[in-house]
Structure 1
Amino acid sequence: MTGHLHPNTLNDASTGTPGVVAGELAAEEQSLIGHESSSYGATNPDDVSGADADDDKDFAMPKSQVYIVVSSLFMAAYLAALDTTVVTTLLTEIASDLNAISSISWIATAYLLSCSAFQPLFGKLSDIFGRKALLLLCSFSFAIGCFICSTDSLIMIIVGRFITGIGGGGLTSLGTITMSDIVPLRSRGLYQGLANVCFGLGAASGGVLGGFVADKFGWKNVFLLQVPLAVIVGVAIYLNLNLPEGSPGLGAQGVDIKSKLKRVDFLGSSLLVSSLMGIMAAASFGGNEIAYSSATFVILCAVSFALLGGFVYVELYVSPEPVLPLELMADRTVLSSSLTNWFYTMGVFTYLFYIPIYYTSVMGFTATQNGLRLIPNFFGVSFGSVGAGIYMKTTGRYYKLAVLSGFVSLYGVFRIYTITPSISLLDQFTMTIPPGLGYSSILTITLLSLIAAVPAKYQASTTSIQYTFRATGSTLGVSIASAIFQSILKSTLTSRIYQIVSDPNEAKEIISKALENAQYSHVAPKLVQQAIRDSYNDGCKGAFAFTAATVTIGFLCSLFMREHVLHTSINRD
């Protein structure tokens, strides 16, 4: 369990996230976006249509094509999530075959870095080049990246994982955007809930499937078997994603490729990708490969934030067509929804990471026992996602559900904070259900609130804002929690061990081993076992306190969202 003590992108919670985070957000203030239509303001509490979206005319395409495209996007979400976790059981085998144990983390990190850094770009690019073209490009990128990973070169595997991450990130964000192009708002939450389930299945099954295929056919086939699946997704989209004239998903019409390229914000895109990769790298490797106090870490952070500042300046004052419309962040719904997802994601990913550490270090559970206790989390997030979608499809409302979901999440995380070694077996298996249910419901709710707040022309680029917040929230949350955990663990462990062990050298050795291995408390000298367990208990409690604080802030942010009309037709009328 040594790896649990130094979380990085290899352990990013997106490897176990409940689902595809909704991202279609935009501005709700008419003065901000320059539109006079009242359709995008807050609703009258009594003005909610009871109509349902059941006819072909309510969708952007015939239902038969909609179902094929949506199923393909569900498969894309599954593949993107599966690829975040599929290598977890392969890393040691791959690194041993290639004699590259020291570089093992880069195999997983390369995917997650590119996925997070490039994901925000696809919204605006698809507004220019069209959804179909970008989805085909991402399917091709995913397939090519997986194929490259079947080589015997560590460098090529890392390159392949990086390319796969670009495709996986694009498939996830573009899938969310495209479903909003073809499905009316009233039904959109249900489709997103199902997408969340597919994403959750992919993340949950990656390690198991990777291990099974590797044992039976070799680790190279884990990557090769994903190639035809990505190709099938691309072919289905090519044949069936036929958006009607006037759809924003068609991109810029009537202009040549040169004119389209001129509209691309290359400077802003470069600054965004560079800054995000730097921030993610600092969050991932800080405290592990790179010491927090080192010059390398300080310089990396300084350069990353300087690039981020340059990106903000370019988007606000230089670029005629920003890759991310940052001025929309001045809008109440956009800002509150983004911050809600940011803080919720920080908290949820933290407890998903540290509950297994608590069970291992304090209660002595094995990896299998830990995994069994996290299975109910999947059912909680599935029910939350789909349930929220059904509720909104039926009632046309979401604000009260957001408040209720927030209370459920708060109950869940404060219950986690009060965990003790004497926790009952029932509580062990149900611990993650309430916060997972609340979080997944919030993800679907914020999706609908943001789509409903703006005209369709803004949904793609603003979706990218949401994905940026979520990607940074997951990694930063686990990294901040790690710093808290390590600080508390080291200080309390040092204090306790030196009080018990009189020999300084022996005490130093015990402390070093305990810091490196969560399971050491069960094989350490009996004299210090309880002290080590108590120190781990304190460290995990610090991480759980961070979870409770961030989810509380996220809940308060969600209260500023407004209720908007959930239209029953794709034309929002």
Structure 2
Amino acid sequence: MPDKKDSHEHHHDLIPHLSPNIIHDPSAGTSGIIAGELAANERSLISQANLKSHSYGSIAPSDESTLAAAEENYAIDDPHGGYALPRAQLYTVVSCLFMASYLAALDATVVTTLLSLIASELHAVQNISWIATAYLLSSAAFQPIFGKISDIFGRRALLLGCSLLFGIGCMICVTDSLWWLVFGRFVTGIGGSGLTSIGTMTMSDLIPLRDRGLYQGLANIFFGLGSASGGIVGGLVADTLGWKWVFALQVPLALIVGLAIFFNLKLPAGSPGLGMHGEDIRQKLKRVDFLGSFCLISSLMLFLTAASMGGREIAYSSNSFLGLILSSFVLISAFVYVEAYVSAEPIIPIELLGNRTVLASSLTNWFYTMAVFTTLFYIPIYFTSVMSLTASQNGLRLVPNFLGVSCGSVGAGYYMKRTGKYYKLAVFSGILSILGVVKITLLTPQTPVWQQFILLIPSGLGYAAILTVTLLALIAAAPMKFQACTTSIQYTFRSTGSTLGVSIASAIFSNIVLQQLTRNVNAVVSDPKKAAKIIAKALDSTSYVNDAPEYVKGAIRSSYDAGCKGAFYFALLTIILGFVSSLFMREHKLHTSINRD
């Protein structure tokens, strides 16, 4: 963490503890990417002719014979009551996928209570942030490519590989070297991102659309439990066995997941999850879009590094920050060119954005994720800096949000299972989310305690429902053989939404707080040097308001109040944009069989 400055001028760019780290998007791990079902014998995955001629399964108008002909090669012989596996085998696989999702989410947050302990033991306090950032960077950057790769090599092979990577990464973390620990976290992040994204794809290979949302809601609960319990589990294990056991104990769990997948995930003939048939490893490798993958992963890595460290380790006005942003832009431009004109089998076909529902659902998730993660990040700051709540009081007020998210996910899935519809649900969920964020913008220290506890429930419930709705809309909108490509697009939007949203909100918050502190503190402190020191301390820690001289506490609290409100209004703007985007989705048929009968 940078040293405090005697002057406040540098804090405009560097506010160490308030600028966001990469926040793992739980939606991205569970709802963000679904089954990629591609033709086993087609070399060209997509063409303008296919896109223009295909009806995308819309309810009306549609040509059912054309739709049936387009997907007849993807029928599964004798599906088990509409599912791809017998019930006992299905439940075993799904349970393992839930466990994999829980592990990946837990590993994203398990170090939150261990950072200071690990950094002190390894004498690496200055590089402490990399222990958490390495996992989140690799997790977000690699997830968009798993859809296409699993379509080539098959879901089971990729799940086994990701389980192995996850376990190896955890083993590497049992070390006395900081940089080996960082490398281990990076490897674990790749494995964890694959477990969540490919696991979600696999569920779509197994479960018909009509029931898919309900299973996704359950998956969201497990992922949420993993995220919520990471810090607690990490602290308990570290206190009893030592911090290295936090990583070591995850190895056998990853092994159990891998073994269960190996023995039970045996997809029937005709399933797109089996990968490319009749080709050896060399032929399959030739299908991989290595150049496009490199450009996409590199661009996301640079972008996420800039977003997570900008204003903290790297000043917004510095050449390093500008260089990261420029390089990311160049690489993403190169990726678009490669996908559109170079690659025979692009990892993410750009043409698919011509599908209205694909584009609308992607933008919906992008804007909603920006809004929700902004509120999740800045409401605790408001409670701490403006209302002077303790960490435990703050945490208790966030617990009901998990209840709202769980009810929203499962409730949306159950509604779609019963009705086979989702458009009206998307509209209702959007209105509920907007009203929830409006209520957040009206938060004051005088807000009744009971309202503080339920503050996040409306937006959390609406957001969780939207995630499930857009997931089903996306799957139903695209032909089976294009599902991985379309959902990779959505996944890319969502995986960047949380980081970009919190980063923009952080810039808004930082500028407002600096301006307000400069004006308010100088109004009550006549000595410029003393005022500058108070401002620097207030910028450096939200808890300083409790230790500050009594005569400046009001000035500091009002400054933080204004900064948080700026972030809340940004969240309101983005969630309205998300709602408008959702209105452009079309209603599609939710089939009751894995064969879309």
Q: Which residue of 2 aligns with 1:220?
A: 244
Q: Deviations over 1:336-369 (max 9, x none)?
A: 0000000000000000000000000000011111
Q: Which residue of 2 aligns with 1:133?
A: 157
C-alpha distance 168-34 of structure 1, shift in aligned 2 (>3 A): same
Cα pair 1:26 1:453 within 8 Å, conserved: no
Deviation at 1:8, TM superposition (A): 1.5
Cα pair 1:19 1:198 within 8 Å, conserved: no
What is the letter of the counterpart of residue 112 of structure 2?
A: T
Q: Which residue of 1 aligns with 2:556?
A: 532
Deviation at 1:32, TM superposition (A): 5.9
Q: Which residue of 2 aligns with 1:89?
A: 113
Mapped pair 1:42 → 2:53: no
Q: Which residue of 1 aligns with 2:312?
A: 288
CA distance in 2, matches of 1:17, 1:322: 25
What is the letter of the counterpart of residue 42 of structure 1?
A: I
Q: Which residue of 2 aligns with 1:511?
A: 535
Deviation at 1:64, TM superposition (A): 1.2
Mapped pair 1:21 → 2:31: yes
CA distance in 1, matches of 2:494, 2:55: 30
Mapped pair 1:5 → 2:40: no
Indicate the SS of the match to 1:268: helix
Q: Which residue of 1 aligns with 2:299?
A: 275
2:281 aligned to which of 252, 257, 266: 257
Cα pair 2:36 2:273 within 8 Å, conserved: no
Indicate the SS of the match to 2:401: helix
CA distance in 2, matches of 1:19, 1:277: 17
Deviation at 1:521, TM superposition (A): 1.0
Deviation at 1:13, TM superposition (A): 4.8
What is the letter of the counterpart of residue 18 of structure 2?
A: L
Counterparts of 1:406-485 in structure 2, within 5 Å, are 406-485=430-509
Indicate the SS of the match to 1:344: helix
Mapped pair 1:314 → 2:338: yes
What is the letter of the counterpart of residue 170 of structure 1?
A: G
Cα pair 1:18 1:196 within 8 Å, conserved: no
What is the letter of the counterpart of residue 230 of structure 2?
A: G
Q: Deviations over 1:100-129 (max 9, x none)?
A: 000100000000000011111100000110
CA distance in 2, matches of 1:87, 1:239: 32
1:347 aligned to which of 371, 378, 388: 371
Q: Deviations over 1:46-87 (max 9, x none)?
A: x9xxxxxxx823111111111111111111111111111000
Indicate the SS of the match to 1:57: coil
Q: Which residue of 2 aligns with 1:391?
A: 415
What is the letter of the counterpart of residue 529 of structure 2?
A: N
CA distance in 2, matches of 1:533, 1:357: 11
Counterparts of 1:302-341 in structure 2, within 5 Å, are 302-341=326-365
Deviation at 1:23, TM superposition (A): 2.6
Deviation at 1:4, TM superposition (A): 4.5
Mapped pair 1:492 → 2:516: yes
Cα pair 1:111 1:165 within 8 Å, conserved: yes
Deviation at 1:41, TM superposition (A): 2.0
Cα pair 2:35 2:204 within 8 Å, conserved: no
CA distance in 2, matches of 1:540, 1:348: 14
The alignment's TM-score, normalised by the length of structure 1, stands at 0.95
Q: Name the stretch that deviates more: 227-236 or 534-543.
A: 227-236
C-alpha distance 529-429 of structure 1, shift in aligned 2 (>3 A): same
Q: Deviations over 1:349-391 (max 9, x none)?
A: 0000000000000000111111100000000000000000000
What are structure 2's unaligned runs of at least 5 residues?
A: 2-14, 38-45, 65-78
Q: Which residue of 2 aligns with 1:106?
A: 130
Cα pair 1:392 1:398 within 8 Å, conserved: yes
CA distance in 1, matches of 2:541, 2:145: 39
CA distance in 1, matches of 2:548, 2:60: 62
2:50 aligned to which of 33, 42, 49: 33
Cα pair 1:6 1:482 within 8 Å, conserved: yes
Mapped pair 1:149 → 2:173: yes
C-alpha distance 25-331 of structure 1, shift in aligned 2 (>3 A): farther
CA distance in 2, matches of 1:200, 1:165: 17
Mapped pair 1:570 → 2:594: yes
Q: Name the stretch that deviates more: 435-444 or 294-303.
A: 294-303
Count of aligned pairs between the two proteins: 562
Cα pair 2:36 2:481 within 8 Å, conserved: no
Deviating above 4 A after TM superposition, structure 1's stretches of 4 or more consecutive aligned residues are 1-4, 16-19, 29-32, 34-39
CA distance in 2, matches of 1:513, 1:129: 54
CA distance in 2, matches of 1:492, 1:379: 36
What is the letter of the counterpart of residue 58 of structure 2?
A: G
Indicate the SS of the match to 1:571: coil
Q: Deviations over 1:500-548 (max 9, x none)?
A: 1111110000000000100111110111100000000000000000110
Cα pair 1:94 1:219 within 8 Å, conserved: yes
CA distance in 1, matches of 2:60, 2:120: 60
Counterparts of 1:104-253 in structure 2, within 5 Å, are 104-253=128-277
What is the letter of the counterpart of residue 331 of structure 1?
A: N
Cα pair 1:279 1:301 within 8 Å, conserved: yes
Deviation at 1:326, TM superposition (A): 1.6
Indicate the SS of the match to 2:493: helix
Cα pair 1:341 1:470 within 8 Å, conserved: yes
C-alpha distance 122-218 of structure 1, shift in aligned 2 (>3 A): same
Deviation at 1:42, TM superposition (A): 3.4
C-alpha distance 93-229 of structure 1, shift in aligned 2 (>3 A): same
The alignment's TM-score, normalised by the length of structure 2, stands at 0.91
Deviation at 1:466, TM superposition (A): 1.7
C-alpha distance 533-396 of structure 1, shift in aligned 2 (>3 A): same
